[in-house]
Structure 1
Amino acid sequence: MLDKARIWTPEHLVATGRQAYFRPVSGWYGGTEVDFEGRRLIMTASHDYLGLSADPRVREAAAEAVHRFGTSLGGSRIINGSLELHERLEERLAAFLGHEAALVLPSGFQANLMLAPLMDQGTAVFTDFANHASLNEAVRLGSPVKHTFLHGNMTHLERRLAAADSRLAKLILTDGVFSVDGDVCDLPVLTELARAHGARIVLDSSHDLGMLGATGAGVAEHFGLTADLVTSALSKSLASVGGVIAGPAHVIRYLRHNAPAAIFTAAAAPANVAAALAALDILQTEPHRRTRLLDLAERLHNGLRALGFDTGTSTTPIVSVKVSGQDRCFRTWRRLCEAGVFTGPISHPGVARGREVLRITLTAAHTDHHLEHVLTALEAVGRKEGIIPDSPPGTHTPVTITRPPATAA
């Protein structure tokens, strides 16, 4: 059983390029730069979209919670770990996401695992091929009939729904914004198909909360629709650590008492809950941060495309540069570090072999100088690696970033 791990030596990590993972940084500066191997690098691998992790108001809220409640509550929510602070965040998030009730978990992964008790043998689940691993794990922990549909292919989903056992309850699982490709789910068509086939929709808004929608409430608000259940991580726009699931009050009440992911885990730390509350306040009262994030993202997309890079189908701040090839992916990552830019190399199992990407994300806290440096570094390294031509292409297809309707150009 344990022998299969023997190959995972330090030499194996070097040989496969995986030494790029689990690399520590020794300092963070304003949420935009880090100390890495004795050098200051621009951090472009973080999903702190609104740049709030370094905001003094968020930090002060977390520190105050530590002074008042300590670093841990020493137990689960169901026994001793519930604070009024948890309930306040749950009430705020439920209202923000347009639902009756919500439950806060210690991680976004656990927020999706909360779905497992809903997916019994009487359920047929339809899950997008590109959904986050935590949604797939929730399906595995349940016992439904699983149907996977091709990424974003509504025709394939419709065929799957039509062919499913009519005696089974139907549940459609989708990311709102997909974490690697950065594209937005087609929630209007998903909603039409759900109504036509009597299905429910679960929407993971981890990467769209704070980014999309008139008030930043995510993909559902962006399209003026409502999913039956919404999950989200608190580690992106809410600058904390944790997760939330929101929906009808009776469903959330059922999950509180029946989901192992909630019952058998320690409560979210007071500092994390307080940080998320403070970040939510800022998110709702300072929409210019979202505007800044989307402006930088559009300039990054189009700056890279003008150089000849392929950024795929993304119309969001998740910018995945296609590099194709594990060796080249990790080698490009290292050369970008040498050029002063820390990116996110995504290889198998994050993507299929041969479809490796460097995921690059700027936040609302990055400056124009940061953007220019990132583009300059990628141009030099991209040419050296043969990812882009020696001369920029004559034309390119520009990206129009997905924006809230009120601010669309």
Structure 2
Amino acid sequence: MENISKYVSNMKENGLYREFKYLNSGQGPKALVEGREIILLGSNNYLGLCDDVRLKEVAIRAVKEYGVGSGGSRLTTGSYDLHKKLEEKIANFKGTEDALVFNTGYMANVGILSALCDKKWVIFCDKYNHASIIDGCLLSGAKLVRYRHCDMDDLERKINMYKGKVNLIVTDGVFSMDGDVAPLDHIVKLAKKYDMFTMVDDAHGVGVLGEKGSGTCSYFGVNKDIDMQIGTLSKAIASIGGYVAGKKEMIDYMKNVSRSFIFSTALPPASIAVSLKAIEIIEKDKDRRQKLIELSNWFKGELKAMGFHITDTITPIIPAIIGDAKKATLFSESLLEEGIYVPAIRPPTVQKGTARLRISLMATHRSKDLEYVLKVMQFHGKRLKIIEG
């Protein structure tokens, strides 16, 4: 216990200690956090559907019809007709033969990688991939080779150095802490050249990019070329769960081999019903996606003009790089005092020296509120000597 106490104390001293912020309301552009109304700028609720009345209504109907719990794992008593409808909907949405729903995106990545790969495999993994991908790679027992972030020259060089008999390239579609997009067109070319499998985690691309908001693979036109499209139902889709979409034989294999799928109680019917309705809304509501991108581009431009170090992205994830973890935490706390919540992201989530505020916009944010945010960020940015003033 003494070592644990020292570890926690060290985190606090270095600005790395994290505490929960408790919401007392639905998650929208404004929310109650510990009794105070704040402008919420740290959510993955990109399309503003978490508090949408249409989704509330289908959840209530599902509870009335099916009850509140699923009662078992999918291979025992936990499969409902709603699960089948959702998997068919996801496959159609992603342009694949079939799909399989997991309980979370994390469980999907861990379960799929550990089921597919073993010590005979070599996995080539972007350095900035999500922790669930890294954990899945390690759990599989495969040789893990990490290439420089979105660097296709480094990827090809490492393929030539390390490739084995069976190889996989795995990447995020949209990187959650930087908001940038993997060059999937180039990854597909390399995979074809070297006869490799491909896997894309499109958690942050769905609802934002691609035809009808179906994600990064659609954005690059490579739906048919990616072997496994992984995603989550908990971000733009505003529900809970994860999935894999791909060829039917791959999905059949995962149903019977992936341990995180087999040994988990199924998601409750209400959550599945919400996901079904949310995908339907996303497919039809082009204006909502367009508004999100327009707001994001305008907001990024304003922050850049003020002198903030903003990464260029085509997504609503806007990282304002601060560098020092303590200063990033202080900036976040200063904004919260002014009624704005933007989380400070620090190591080990990001690399040392790249602590940041991770700003993420919703399609339902109002320009008036965002103008207030810009004004407050400029004031505290100058006060803390993050930007010149």
Normalised TM-score (structure 2): 0.96
Does residue 43 in structure 1 map to residue 29 in structure 2? no
Aligned to 2:359: 360
- Matched residue, 2:211: 214
The 5 A counterparts of 1:53-68 are 53-68=50-65
Contact 2:16-2:326 within 8 A present in 1 as well: no
- After superposition, the Cα gap between the structure-2 partners of 1:236 and 1:165, relative to the gap in structure 1 and judged at 3 Å, is closer
Which residue identity is paired with 1:343? V
2:257 aligned partner: 258
Measured at CA, do residues 17 and 74 of structure 1 come closer, stay the same or move farther in structure 2, by a change above 3 Å?
Answer: farther
Residues 1:28 and 2:23 are matched in the alignment: no
Instruction: Indicate the residue corresponding to 1:80 in structure 2.
Output: 77
Q: 1:163 aligns with which of 161, 164, 168?
A: 161
1:102 to 2:99 alignment: yes
| Structure 1 unmatched runs, 5+ | 391-409
- Structure 2 counterpart of 1:128: 126
8 Å CA contact 2:232, 2:240 repeated in 1: yes
Give the Cα–Cα distance (whole angstroms) in 2 for the partners of residues 23 and 58 of structure 1: 25
Aligned to 2:348: 349
Q: Which residue of 2 aligns with 1:399?
A: none
Is 1:173 the counterpart of 2:170? The answer is yes
115, 118, 139: which is aligned to 1:117?
115
What are the superposed Cα offsets for residues 232-272 of structure 1, whole Å, 9 maximum, x if unpaired?
A: 01111100011011111111111111111101111012121
Specify whether residues 292 and 138 from structure 1 end up closer, same or farther in structure 2 by C-alpha distance, changes over 3 A only: same
Displacement of 1:164? 2.3
Identity %: 34
Q: Equivalents in 2 of 1:162, 1:307: separation in Å?
A: 44
Aligned-partner Cα distance in 1 for 2:243–2:19: 27
Which residue of the other structure, out of 139, 142, 158, is the alignment partner of 1:141? Answer: 139
Q: Go from structure 1 to structure 2 and tell me whether the alpha carbon gap of 1:211 and 1:165 turns closer, same or farther (over 3 Å shift).
A: closer
User: Paired residue for 1:405?
Assistant: none
Q: Any unmatched runs of 5+ in structure 2? A: none
TM-score (norm 1): 0.91
Distance 1:92 1:123 in 2: 32
Alignment of 1:293-304 (within 5 A): 293-304=292-303
1:379 lines up with 2:378 in the alignment? yes
Structure-2 change in CA distance of 1:28 and 1:19 (3 Å): farther
- Following the alignment from structure 2 to structure 1, what is the Cα–Cα distance between the partners of residues 350 and 17? 18
Contact persistence 1:229–1:246 (CA under 8 A): yes
- C-alpha change, 1:137 and 1:48, in structure 2 (3 Å) is same
| 2:139 partner letter | L
**Cα distance, 1:294 vs structure 2:** 0.4
Partner of 1:396: none
The letter for the 2-side match of 1:136 is: I
CA distance in 1, matches of 2:110, 2:97: 20
Distance in 2, matches of 1:74 and 1:386, equals 55
- Partners of 2:16 and 2:347 within 8 A in 1: no
Find the residue that maps to 2:212 and give its secondary structure.
coil
Secondary structure at the residue paired with 2:22?
coil
C-alpha distance in 2, partners of 1:247/1:71? 30
Letter paired with 2:216: V
Confirm whether residue 190 of structure 1 aligns to residue 180 of structure 2: no
Distance in 2 separating the partners of 1:13 and 1:35: 28
Distance 2:236 2:34 in 1: 28
Aligned-CA RMSD value: 1.5
Residues matched between the structures, number? 386
